[in-house]
Amino acid sequence: MTNPHIQDRQAPIAGEPATAQPYKNIPPINGNRANRSHSSENQQSTDETKQKPRRKYLVFFQVIILVLALAMSTYSILLTDSLEGKEGNSISEGNEVLVRTEGRDADHICSEGGADIFIGNDSNKNGILDESEVTSTTRICHGQEGLSGPQGATGPNGLSGVSSMIETQEIEYGNITCNYGGLLIQSGLDNNSNDILDQEEVTDQEFLCDGSIGSDGINGLNGTQGAPALVKKSDPPAYLCSNGVILEFGVDDGIGQAVAMDGILQPEEVRENLKICSQPLNSGLISDFSTGITNGMNTACDSMNWMESKSMLFSAGSDGVNGCELWTSMATLSSTSLLIDINPSGDSTPGLWMGMQETIGDENDLVFFDADDGVNGREMWVSDGTVIGTQRITSLNGAGDGLKISSKMSPWMNGIVFSDVENNFIWSNGSITVELFDAPFFSTSMQLILDSTASDITAHSLTKLWPVDTGLWFSAATIAEDFEMHHISNNGVLTSWNLNSLEGSLP
């Protein structure tokens, strides 16, 4: 068998896979291959000729539909944009409708209260429904409270509560959580009621850790030499304890008016004390001025003062022989005695008008009092508890009284200030007695100023004296301002007030 010289179609080489060929020519057995092939091709051509007009109509119809769809889409888009523009213009030009609600208290309209609902257009476009913009108001009232329902049955008793507990533990230095130490705070419920927060009862815990130790600061300056500590032993006063001891502890630092580093424990330097008495404290009668049933004191003869520094009682008293005179006592019956008979011819009556006033001086404590010696009238006296130290310090009117029943007295500046019979203010420390505004603790220049500014200040029957740390307050009369309030400082600055411009304010 021989192959033809020219291939009439593409054909695979022997051994290659055959490709899909719908009209593959298979050699006929009877040798009529060529006729059958020609007949088949003619039939196919006839069918294709019949289908071509149908395809053309279908394609034309599809094109028409696409064109119409495109046109309708374009119209729809244009119509939508036009409607949106018109809607936006109508919204921008309109007024917004606002609603406001307000609570309403109970009144004749809503007995249980309620709410008001206001509706209107925001004409001024401020976002707030103003009163003038309200076009509709609706009131909504709460209904009346209903009757209480029946009381429910008592419920079962609840379980007993469990106590809560908090415990703290100190964390030592070097702990893993707190390297520099700190505090552990644990809390929980004491479920087993043993008053101990067991570990299984802990529900919360917090660590409070100490910060690291900072670097050392620079050394400060050396301090001043400290004052030595002193201890003083003394016997208790006989009137208080017959057998005991008093221990006083202090520092020799010169506090107050004490002298520093003098080796003596002054009263101002005492910080603490210990008082021991080995028997019951003493009590009982300390005086019997007049032996028998006669009174040694009465309403006109009863002035007294206690001098703490000497544990001595100054008192007016009468023994029925010497009249009402000055007595002293160490608060025991055996130590009570007549100090001095100031008026040998009658009663001196110490402290009758002004009482007795103790002052603490730089060197000695004193007691000031008024008394009448029968020669100079009632004057100011002073005593340190001795006969020689009891003296009269004023003598203004000879035999007349240097004081009057309305005279006042007050301690100030290690002495006393008092008013005399001529309504002058006097200052005295027992050694020096001068007018107040010429006191020695005022400078010479300040005394000259006071001679001018205080020249018309006089005492009054209602005068009062109030000493303070910064000076002395006192009420006094003046020609210009009547009876008003005044203040003089420790260095002599005088200040006066006119509280009532029409008349005296009577402070």
Name the 3-class secondary structure at 143: coil
pLDDT at 351 over 60: yes
CA angle 496, 501, 506 (to 5 degrees): 65
How confident is the model over 217-257, as pLDDT tens digits? 999 888 888 899 999 999 998 888 889 999 999 999 988 88
Mean of pLDDT values over 288-299: 78
* CB neighbour list of residue 373: distance below 8 Å, 6 or more residues apart: 342, 343, 348, 379, 392
Are 318 and 347 in contact by the 8 Å Cβ rule? The answer is yes
Q: How many helices (H) and strands (E) does the chain have?
A: 2, 25
pLDDT of residue 370: 97
Q: Read off the DSSP letter of residue 3.
A: -
Residue 16 makes CB contacts below 8 A (sequence gap 6+) with none
pLDDT of res. 36: 47
Window from 11-15, 248-252, 468-472 with minimum mean pLDDT? 11-15
pTM: 0.53
Q: How far apart are alpha carbons 361 and 415 in whole angstroms? A: 7
- The predicted structure's pLDDT at residue 1: 44
Percent of the chain with pLDDT over 90: 41
Distance CA 414, CA 365 (A): 9
Question: Does pLDDT of 29 surpass 70?
Answer: no
pLDDT tens-place string over residues 391-439: 999 886 666 788 999 999 999 999 999 999 999 999 999 999 999 999 9
| C-alpha angle 244-249-253 in degrees, rounded to nearest 5 | 150
Please check whether residue 238 is in contact with residue 246, taking contact to mean a CB–CB distance below 8 angstroms: no
The Cα–Cα gap between 184 and 203 comes to 13
Q: Are 177 and 195 spatial neighbours (Cβ–Cβ below 8 Å)?
A: no
First to last CA, the chain: 162
Q: Identify the pLDDT of residue 230.
A: 93
Per the model's pLDDT, the better-predicted residue between 284 and 119 turns out to be 119
C-alpha–C-alpha distance, residues 310 and 329, integer Å: 10
SS (H, E, C) 144-168: CCCCCCCCCCCCCCCCCCCCEEEEE
pLDDT in tens, 35-49: 444 445 455 555 555
DSSP 3-state assignment of 229? strand
Beta bridge partners of 337: 328
Q: For the chain, give the mean pLDDT.
A: 83
% of the chain residues with pLDDT over 70: 82
Which pLDDT score, from 0 to 100, does residue 34 have? 46
CA-wise closest residue to 365 among 267, 239, 275: 267
CA angle, residues 434, 439, 445, in degrees to nearest 5: 130
List 115's β-bridge partners, or say none: 103, 140
| pLDDT at 442 exceeding the cut of 50 | yes
Is pLDDT at 210 greater than 80 in this prediction?
Answer: yes
Q: What is the pLDDT of residues 142-154, one digit of tens each?
A: 888 888 889 888 8
Specify the 3-state DSSP secondary structure of 493: coil
